[in-house]
Structure 1
Amino acid sequence: MKTKHVMMALPIAATLATLPLIAQATTSNPALAGVNTAEAPRVTQAVDNHVVAALNNTHLAFIDKTAISGSVDDAMPMNHMQLILRPSASRASALAALIADQHDPASAKFRQWLTPEEFGAHFGVVDADIAAVKSWLISQGFTVNGVYPNKAQIDFSGTAGQVRQAFRTQENRYLVNHVSHIANANDISVPSALRDVVVGVAGLNDFRPQPLHVAPQVAQFDHGKSNFQIKQVSSAAAGTPGHSAVNFTGGVRGFVPFDMQTIYNTSSLYVSGLTGAGITIAVVEDQDMDVSDWPNFVSQFGLGAYGGTFNQFQPQLTPSTGNCTDPGGNSPDGESIETVLDSEYSTAMAPGAAIWVATCADSDSTNFFGGVFTAADNLINNTNPAGRPNVISASYGYGEGFTDAASKTAIDLMWAQGDAEGISVFVSSGDSGSNPSFNGGWINDVGVDANSFATSPNDTAVGGTDTADVLDGTTSKYFNSTLNPVYGSAKSYVPELTWNQSCGNVLAASKLAHISALQFCKNALIYDPYGYYVTSESGSGGPSSVDFKPSWQRIVRGAAKDQSRDLPDVSLFAGAYGGYSWVILCTGFYPCTPNFASPVELVGGTSLSSPMFAGIQALIDQGLSNAGLPKNQGNAAPTLYELARNEYGGPTGSAPGTLAKCNASNGTSGTGKCVFYNITTGGNSTQCVQIAALSQITPDCYFYGTIQNFLQFYGPTKVGLTATSTSSYNSNTAAYSAQSGWSFANGLGSVNAANLLSAWKAFVNAP
């Protein structure tokens, strides 16, 4: 059978080799005027299964150091894998040039967006090459479920045995952190004739990144003290790793939409009718939520008059490939806290917007990021304009060092396509300091990495902040002692620092013990001899090891002098040192009741920051639409950096006066006209460990001591702080310190939404 296929391929290949350039698709879209991406097929040889080429980095590298617990049976179904195709270098270059023009107010292509079909016709793989790849897949016994409109992904299904024969890789079982996973044992191979157009296969492993929120707490409101008392402590409790070393006594604080609206000044936009009306925000998830939560949240916090809407569904392609099924969870006992958080706090900032909760099951795996990737990908490739959102928020993450090449390529391609279509994408940067892969625990591998879901130059990464009033002792200046009718207490903007719950928090060390963070950590060894309070919980940031730095990230003061796409771009509130400040959720198990008569859930993390910024973007979109401009803005980051250059100055030369004036530490003093609040206090250098019993090697860590029996189980363990040097630790080597201008700790900082809209309108010459 295989020989017959090869013989049939010979005349096809010979014919393809003699074809002229593929005719350019005709279009009336001004964005494509003068764009010539016509090209000949790149599959010009016979597809011979005996002549193959290995595709580098198409398996998870850390698997090489993991013991195999068994092989996968050949009969095991492997449904909805995706063959990721590689557009030509000339088409990739043309796409980058077009996207740059789409963001340039001086260009005739400014805000001229593409459809998925136009994207595929001009920037995907040509039809003849797709046909060759499909034919080969079918010849290997696979079922081809469909080709994406972007002409860069083929959805197909088969068995583990077919994967082994076709791609020359064995699916094995591995026990990682006491959980059984499957993954391909080595890089895949494909016929050499297809090598130029195939990146790899996404969906060959079932490792899944986690949502980027801290473990929620259940709390009861104390009317006498006007705060919350923790009633049920989550898995991050004292006596387990990752708990905050210092807990503030007397209760904790629960922020509500009013507080976030006041701090980031979205409330002044509501007065002028800008609520996000007419804008759709999609939050992409891999599990449902109880649909009664959202109306409960809207009612409890007085948001009903703004007219926002809610819809939970599974986004499909047309025609459907069947790769997005309902993951379940639409009940109090099965819902995802992540999904609840994303939907409720995008509404908190844009109460008039339409909220789409787009969910797909992880079991319909097409990518390392599972259902979250599928939901976003299917939305972006929806050929019905009404089926594509204006804004997407994704609150999941894992490091690039843990993501295979095919999945990473698919992620970057997806966000580039979304950008070219005008969709603004926001992605959480992570919750574990300089490496986003250790949420809820401690960094024990490579200390510096970046969220592979966010390092594309076509999305905006959102990091985390903390309010500084508690450590500064200025709470009464910025918050009322009693709650208003919608349960808020914020008076104004509040000074911010980097969210960091570890002993690496420099402000906590200074204010609570009057010592350096390093000494603060050393002292902690005395009071925590088993390391139960060691944690890496913090807003994440770091350089990409895959994606190059976009030109717009070089233009602002403080920009890292490297060649990498760096995270984050901006930041908003995510959590508090000592677990003092949270936001309130209305969930199925703990619905909100008038006057908080019953318990509520409190939560935080950069999973909060991203949907909040998506909500701010919805307000920007409506404001620009009301001024006669297209409401879609594409990736927000290029414009944000241009506006920040006006406030912070460029990478060289004298700093403008607004750099110091807009320091977040100034609070409300002189910052009334600032677009950005430059966060210069703190950093995301957190604790890291090296466990001898596990033969671990942890680079990017400055070790300051040894725990003799880590968690009373692991034995001798080195403990340190993430750093760019292993021999010294200070503000220059900590990974990473906040600084003037852009930083790895908080990017450009946080924003004043009303001032951001005014500056954005001026930048694009809107009336």
Structure 2
Amino acid sequence: MKTEHVMIGVSIAAALATLPSIALASASNAALAGIDITEAPRVTQTVDTRVVSTLGNTHLSLLDNVTSIGAVADSAPMNHMQLVLQRSAKRTAALNQLIAAQHDSSSSKFHQWLTPAEFGQAFGLADADISAVTSWLTSQGFKVNGVLPNKMQIDFSGTAGQVRQAFHTQENHYTVNHESHIANAGDISMPTALRDVVVGVAGLNDFRPKPLHQQPQTAQFDGSSQRFKIQQSPKANASIAGGPKPLVNFQGGVRGFVPYDMQTIYNTSPLYNSGLTGKGITIALVEDQDMDVSDWPNFVSQFGLGGYGGTFNQSQPLLSPDTGNCTDPGGNNPGGESIEAVLDAEYSTAIAPGANIWVATCNDAGSTNFFGGVFTAASNLINGTSRPNIISASYGYGEGFTDAASKTAIDLMWAQADAEGISVFVSSGDSGSNPSFNGSIINGVPAIDANSFGSSANNTAVGGSDTADVLDGTSSKYFNTALNPVYGSAKSYVPEITWNQSCGNTRAAKDLVNVSALQFCKNALIYDPNGDYVTSESGSGGASSVVAKPSWQRIVHGAAKDQSRDLPDVSLFAGSYGGYSWVILCTGNYPCTANFTSPVVLEGGTSLSSPMFAGIQALIDQGLSSAGGSVDQGNAAPTLYELARNEYGGPTGSVPSTLAACNADNGAKGTGKCVFHNITDGGNSTQCIELLSQNEVTPDCYFYGTINNFEGFFGPTKVGLTSSNATKYNSTTAAYAAQAGWSAANGLGSVNATNLLSAWKSFNGL
């Protein structure tokens, strides 16, 4: 990645002088033709620090019921906070209108993308308003590190004492879910003269999202069974601690999927045969820790991907000019690498073996922004001079754990990416109807929430599916007994259900003991009185409590009749009930060897699903470009929903025959002509608890019993299933059941990549 290093001073003149050095918006850009971007400054009063107003929802409301364990010292550094700015209603409407036109094939603005500078000039704040805000920050003793090219964020640093004085809020220490955090105790206040142009400050708390992968396992291959025997959970920076015990003891070992299997199941191989491998397309994977750079060539070599010409680069994306907000987090070694980064890099390559893979990492420790290094890496890429075609982000936290300023900054970031033509994919989460509990159990907060990193209207959220063959007893129909030369065994597409590892898995309850999920869970109490097998692990989905439903999400059969942005949009394989099926990683501690003579790491989670869909998008991008279209598509979701409407029908009226024909249960022959595999069986309603000894309350949880001495908490603990009705549990209230068309369990379902390209080309008139 090419970056330009220019130091920014603290003065207003210096901060604003950097902007003209990045070519400002040109009237020649067809995207901006006819859009009135003129705007008078909105800061019209003298900035008086004695006249202040409170900015609502600028602290985490969940802390209102948590007792502080002490104030943060005034001298404590608060680095690289971001003042998130508020554009005018006029410019907000103009941006929304433009993005809609950029996705409308009948518009003259179709696929006319912006640069960061053009975006800032047209849809950011006026220079005079930025000057007024930056002057005030400087007057309060803060160091202004820079104004982002989008003119919507000001990067600044200071101390907790300066935050207290300038924003009239105290930074405190808290303990939440056994973790130590800092956060502002109340909403911030600032001069009334600036109120209309400021949303708030991102970086006043350090509640960071978790990587959305399962607890990794190490396993040794058994040539006689062609299966892997799990040995232990890797200790080296797995990122996910704890987790439930294995639910099922598979006598013959477990299954390890490889690139060939994913390529076969989602039908990408025919595209390779036609020369479409992702060549020339760049996929950026945003991370907060490095991976061992020897892993990727090992993976490519082991699984026969070396002939496609893909490239790999790991570096820190810096802004031009550089604010100094991204430093190397380290981890480029076997003992310190991020399993998340390994998973993302290897399985985006598995699907798009010819693509350019960028692992973009920034250090959490260098920033107090809510999303830390992940947010910084993504924001810097989108505002930089060298931008990717696609971004995949496999991290998340619920909206309930995200303050308003941080959520606004996330949504602003993905909207900018969309306007620039960057396709963004975000994992929906790994803990059912609340994505904040990966590796633990939903408790103490509403059991229904949405991933704040993925609930923007300008990204595509990717959920998790499971292959149905194990529960159905049909593995021999879909998989060969012996592995092929690249260690694959899949024969074709395999029917899919929702990935759900809890007793809330309706398909498991039916296939294993022929009872309802609720009865299945009640039966489990007999054999599991201490809750050793209680888990919330499942693909996440549900309704945003912040973002309104985009128009394109209303157009398909099954669309939720609400006013909310709903997740996920699509799904791909993430894991299996009982932990039988995983994907194989090549890591620094456990490199892959020929015939798997040494142990390997097995992984899963929606952290797998998102980079795989990013790989599919790379194939789509190259295919559309080869046919004379744009190489960039912006947010994929609007087009995916349009294509799904053709197969599933609209939200009202009769449904086409293809709704039934494209049901994932039909397998390869039944869905061979379909773009989507409609996953209609299963659901992501998972287990949730209330720790009675802690006087917890967990809304949206239907309690069916109690467990004893749960994880060291003595006394009874209530256990239930996530439900929209705490007094009733059935297929209507379960959060959430799969269904025909779109569902909160799996979105539109998974895809046949070859058919998707054909349909997308037709949609784009190619």
TM beyond 0.5: yes
The equivalent residue for 2:28 is 28
Does the 8 A contact of 2:347 with 2:612 survive in 1? yes
- In 2, distance between residues paired with 1:244 and 1:196? 53
Distance between the aligned counterparts of 1:594 and 1:134, measured in 2?
A: 58
In the TM superposition, what is the alpha-carbon distance from 1:424 to its structure 2 partner? 0.2
Residue in 1 that maps onto 2:752:
752
- Do the aligned residues in 2 keep the contact of 1:530 with 1:712 (CA within 8 Å)? no
Query: What one-letter code is carried by the residue in structure 2 that aligns with 1:455?
Result: S
Q: Give the secondary structure class of the aligned counterpart of 1:87.
A: coil
Kindly tell me: are residues 472 and 142 of structure 1, through their superposed partners in 2, closer, same or farther at Cα, counting changes over 3 Å? same
Superposed, which structure 2 residues align to 1:326-405 within 5 Å?
Answer: 326-382=328-384, 384=385, 387-405=386-404
Q: Which amino acid in structure 1 is aligned with residue 737 of structure 2?
A: S
Report the alpha carbon displacement of residue 183 of structure 1 after superposing the two structures with TM: 1.1
Measure, in 1, the Cα distance between the counterparts of 2:673 and 2:494: 15
Deviation by residue 1:481-521 (Cα, 9 ceiling, x = unmatched): 00000000000000000000000001111111111110000
* Cα contact 2:573–2:608 (8 A) shared by 1: yes
Where do 1:313-328 residues align within 5 Å? 313-328=315-330
Aligned partners of 2:154, 2:98: CA distance in 1, in Å?
A: 25
Q: Which amino acid counterpart does residue 615 of structure 2 have in structure 1?
A: G
Report the Cα offset of residue 726 of structure 1: 1.4
Give the secondary structure class of the aligned counterpart of 1:311.
strand
Per the alignment, do residues 26 and 272 of structure 1 end up closer, same or farther by CA in structure 2, a change over 3 Å counting? Answer: closer
Residue in 2 aligned with 1:16? none
3-state DSSP class of the match of 1:79?
Answer: strand
Contact 1:247 1:580 in 2 (8 A): no
**Distance (whole Å) between structure 1 residues aligned to residue 485 and residue 428 of structure 2:** 34
CA distance, structure 1, for counterparts of residue 193 and residue 213 of structure 2: 45
Q: CA deviation at 1:760?
A: 0.1
Helix, strand or coil: the match of 1:91?
Answer: helix
Tell me by how many angstroms 1:712 deviates.
5.0
1:417 corresponds to = 416
Who is 2:310 aligned against? 308
Counterpart of 1:439 in structure 2 is: 438
Q: Is the 8 A contact 1:240 1:532 kept in 2?
A: no
Task: Please list the CA deviations of residues 605-631 of structure 1 after superposition, one character each: whole Å capped at 9, or x if unmatched.
Answer: 000000000000000000000011110
Look up the match of 1:291.
Answer: 293
CA contact (8 A) 2:125 2:151 kept: yes
Aligned match of 1:18: none
Report the TM-score, using the length of structure 2 for normalisation: 0.95
Q: Is the 8 A contact 2:693 2:713 kept in 1?
A: no
Is 1:426 the equivalent of 2:447?
A: no
Q: 1:240 to 1:627 in 2, by over 3 A?
A: closer
Alignment correspondent of 1:728? 728
- What displacement does 1:67 show? 2.0
Contact 2:691/2:713 (CA < 8 Å) preserved in 1? no
- More divergent stretch after superposition (69-78 vs 632-641): 69-78
Question: Take 1:321 and 1:561, find their aligned partners in 2: how far apart are those partners?
Answer: 44
**Unaligned ranges ≥5, structure 2:** 1-11, 13-23
Cα separation, 2, equivalents of 1:176 and 1:678: 39
Aligned ranges 1:442-481 → 2 under 5 Å = 442-444=441-443, 445-481=445-481
**Letter in structure 2 aligned against 1:295:** P
Q: What SS does structure 2 have at the residue aligned with 1:739?
A: coil
Which is further off, 56-65 or 571-580?
A: 56-65
Rounded Cα–Cα distance in structure 2 between residues aligned with 1:68 and 1:698: 21
- Native 8 Å contact 1:284 1:358 kept in 2: yes
**Correspondence for 1:98:** 98
Asked if the contact 1:391–1:618 (Cα under 8 Å) also holds between the matched residues in 2, the reply is yes
Instruction: Tell me the secondary structure at the aligned position of residue 190 of structure 2.
Output: strand
Q: Deviations over 1:433-488 (max 9, x none)?
A: 00000111111121100000000000000000000000000000000000000000
The amino acid that maps onto 1:533 is Y
**Shift of residue 176 of structure 1?**
2.5
Q: State the match for 1:67 in structure 2.
A: 67
Distance 2:234 2:707 in 1: 25
**How far does the alpha carbon of each residue in 1:43-92 deviate from its partner, in whole angstroms, 9 at most, with x for none?**
00011111111111111112222222221111111111110000001101
**Other structure's SS at 2:711 match:** helix
Instruction: State the percentage of identical aligned residues.
Output: 76
Cα distance, 1:25 vs structure 2: 6.0
- Provide the C-alpha distance between the structure 1 equivalents of 2:369 and 2:682, rounded to a whole number of angstroms: 35
- Deviation string, structure 1 residues 671-705 (Cα, Å, up to 9, x no partner): 11100000001000000111111111111111111
Find out whether 1:522 has 2:532 as its counterpart.
no
Structure 1 stretches of 4+ moved >3 Å: 233-236
Say which is worse superposed, 107-116 or 709-718, in terms of deviation.
709-718
Q: Is 1:181 the counterpart of 2:181 in the alignment?
A: yes
In the alignment of these two chains, the number of paired residues is 739
Paired letter, 1:614: A
Between the aligned partners of 2:311 and 2:508, the Cα distance in structure 1 is: 41
Q: Distance in 1 between matches of 2:320 and 2:233?
A: 45
Q: TM-score, structure 1 length as denominator? A: 0.95
CA distance in 1, matches of 2:337, 2:503: 33
Q: Which amino acid aligns with 1:49?
A: T
Cα distance, 1:180 vs structure 2:
2.2
> Distance between the aligned counterparts of 1:578 and 1:162, measured in 2?
51
Separation of aligned partners in 2, 1:577 and 1:503: 9
Q: CA deviation at 1:714?
A: 3.6
Aligned to 1:508: 508
SS in 1 for 2:219: strand
Q: Tell me the residue number matched to 2:709.
A: 709
Contact 1:674 1:752 (8 Å CA) reproduced: yes
Deviates more, 1:260-269 or 1:51-60: 51-60
Q: Name the SS of the counterpart of 2:463 in structure 1.
A: strand
Q: Is the 8 A contact 1:241 1:532 kept in 2?
A: no
> Which residue type is aligned with residue 659 of structure 1?
L
Tell me how far apart the structure 1 counterparts of residues 383 and 424 of structure 2 sit (CA, whole Å): 14
Task: Please state how far the C-alpha of 1:241 moved relative to its aligned partner.
Answer: 5.1
Q: Distance in 2 between matches of 1:314 and 1:169?
A: 33
The range that moved more, 433-442 or 64-73, is 64-73
SS of the residue aligned with 2:187?
coil
Q: Could you tell which deviates more after superposition, 577-586 or 68-77?
A: 68-77
1:20 match: none
